[in-house]
A and B are shown apart, each in its own frame.
Chain A
C-alpha cells in the first residue's frame, strides 16, 4: 500500500493553564490513506478538534510526529507549513469564516489566488467546486444573502477547490438540515473516492456512517475503531433468513 496522506504517530497535546495540565490528546496513532474517509467521533472535550488542528498544521503536538504527504511538519519552516496548508489541505470548520465582502466565487477562488494561480483560472476552478456542492447558481451572491446551509456549502467548496489531497472537516454538517447534510457527505465521500484522504469530525452517527472507518475518541485516547463493516445480512434478526 502507498504511504498514507496523513500520518499521526504517538501524538500528544497538552494545554497548560497555571498549575493544571489538560491532556487533550494522549498517544494518538492514525494513518489516513488516499481514497479513504475516516470519521472521528467522541463526546465534547474528547480532543476531536485538537486532532484535526494538529493534522492540518494549525496546532503543533507536544510530542509525536505529524506527516502530511510524507513531509514531517516539525522539520518544515513556518513558511513551508503554510504552503502545505494552502496546497495540500482543505478545511471545513464549524465557524465558516467566509469573508463577507467577497462573493461566493471570490471566497472560493481566494486560496488559489493567494497561492499564485491566475485570476481567470482560479475563478473557473472555483465555479467547478461550487457546482460540485450544488451551489453553482449562487456564485455571485454574498454570504449575508445566503442561508446557513448555502454558506456551509460555499465553505466546503472552498475546502475542495484545487488539487487538495487532505480534507479536514470539523462538524461540517452542523448548520445543515438532514437532506443537505447528506448531500455534503456524498460530496466528501466522492472526493475521497476520487483520491483524496478525508477526516471528518462529527457527533452524528448517521454522518460518521459514510466513512470507511470510524475512530472513537475518549479523553484524548482512541478507544476503538469500526473497520470495514460486517455484511448487511448479519444485522438482520436470525429468524428472518429461515
Chain B
C-alpha cells in the first residue's frame, strides 16, 4: 500500500480518538466501540491499533493517563490542551486530495491510454461495473438507515462513499467519451482485444 495513504489513515485514527476524548476521559475498549459506532463500522479498528495510537498520542503530549487503572486493569486517557489545539487544527484543515487512493485509477487509465495494445474502453468498462456494484451495495445499506439521530453519523459516512463512487462513474463516462472521440480521429490505430485479459487479471 502507498505509504502516503497509510500515513493519512493513521492520522485519521489519531484525530478520531482525540475527538472522542474531547467528550471526556475514556479507556481503549470504549474508544474502539465509539469509533466504530461513529463511522458505522465502515472502518473497524482492533484494540491493538487503539492502544498503539494512544501510546503515540501520549508520547507526543496530546493525551495523558487519567488516574490509576480500574478494577479490570484498564487505563483511561484524557485529552491535553495541546491535544485540543491539535484537534481544532485538524477540523480546520481540508483533507488533502493527494492521499486519495483512487489516484491509482487515474494513473492506470493514463498508462492504459499510452500503452500499445490495451483496450482502454474495456478497462474503463470493467472499472465502471465494479464501481457500480459498490454503489449498489452502498445504496442498499443507505436504504436501511433511518432518520434517527443515531443513524446520522453512519449515514454521512455512507453518503461520502456514495458521492465518491458516483463521481468516479461520471469521470469514467467522461474518459470513455474522450477516448472514443480521439479514436474516431485516427481510425487506423484502433487496437483490439488482448487487453481484455490484461484488464481482468488486475
Taking Cβ atoms with an 8 Å cutoff, the residues of A that contact B are 43, 186, 189, 205-206, 208-212, 214, 216, 223-227, 229-242
A–B complex contacts, Cβ < 8 Å, 18 sampled: A43-B177, A186-B143, A205-B169, A206-B162, A208-B135, A209-B132, A209-B135, A216-B128, A224-B129, A229-B140, A230-B130, A231-B137, A232-B137, A232-B138, A236-B42, A237-B5, A242-B45, A242-B46
CB distance from A52 to the nearest CB of B (A): 20
Cα distance, A206 to B125, chains bound together (Å): 17
Cα distance, A236 to B161, chains bound together (Å): 9
- In the complex, chain B residues whose CB is within 8 Å of the CB of A186: 143
Cα distance, A229 to B131, chains bound together (Å): 10
CB distance from A232 to the nearest CB of B (A): 5
Cα distance, A237 to B140, chains bound together (Å): 20
Cα distance, A231 to B139, chains bound together (Å): 12
Known: A232-B141, A235-B134. A242 touches B165 (CB 8 A): no
B178 at the interface (CB under 8 A from A): no
User: Do the beta carbons of B43 and A240 come within 8 Å of each other?
Assistant: yes
Known contacts A237-B9, A239-B9, then 18 further A-B pairs from the complex at CB < 8 Å, ordered by chain A residue: A43-B177, A205-B165, A205-B169, A206-B162, A209-B135, A214-B136, A216-B125, A226-B130, A226-B136, A229-B137, A230-B130, A230-B133, A230-B137, A232-B42, A235-B137, A239-B1, A240-B42, A241-B43
Contact with A along B37-63 (1 / 0, CB 8 A): 000001111101100000000000000
Known: A186-B143, A205-B169, A206-B139. A239 touches B5 (CB 8 A): yes
- In the complex, chain B residues whose CB is within 8 Å of the CB of A208: 132, 135
Instruction: Give residues 130-164 of B contacting A (CB, 8 Å).
Output: 130, 132-141, 143, 161-162
B101 at the interface (CB under 8 A from A): yes
CB distance from B156 to the nearest CB of A (A): 15
B106 at the interface (CB under 8 A from A): no
Which of A209, A210, A236 counts the most chain B CB atoms within 10 A?
Answer: A209
Which of A223, A226, A236 counts the most chain B CB atoms within 10 A?
Answer: A226
Which of B6, B46, B135 counts the most chain A CB atoms within 10 A?
Answer: B135
B74 at the interface (CB under 8 A from A): no
Known: A226-B129, A229-B136. A238 touches B1 (CB 8 A): yes
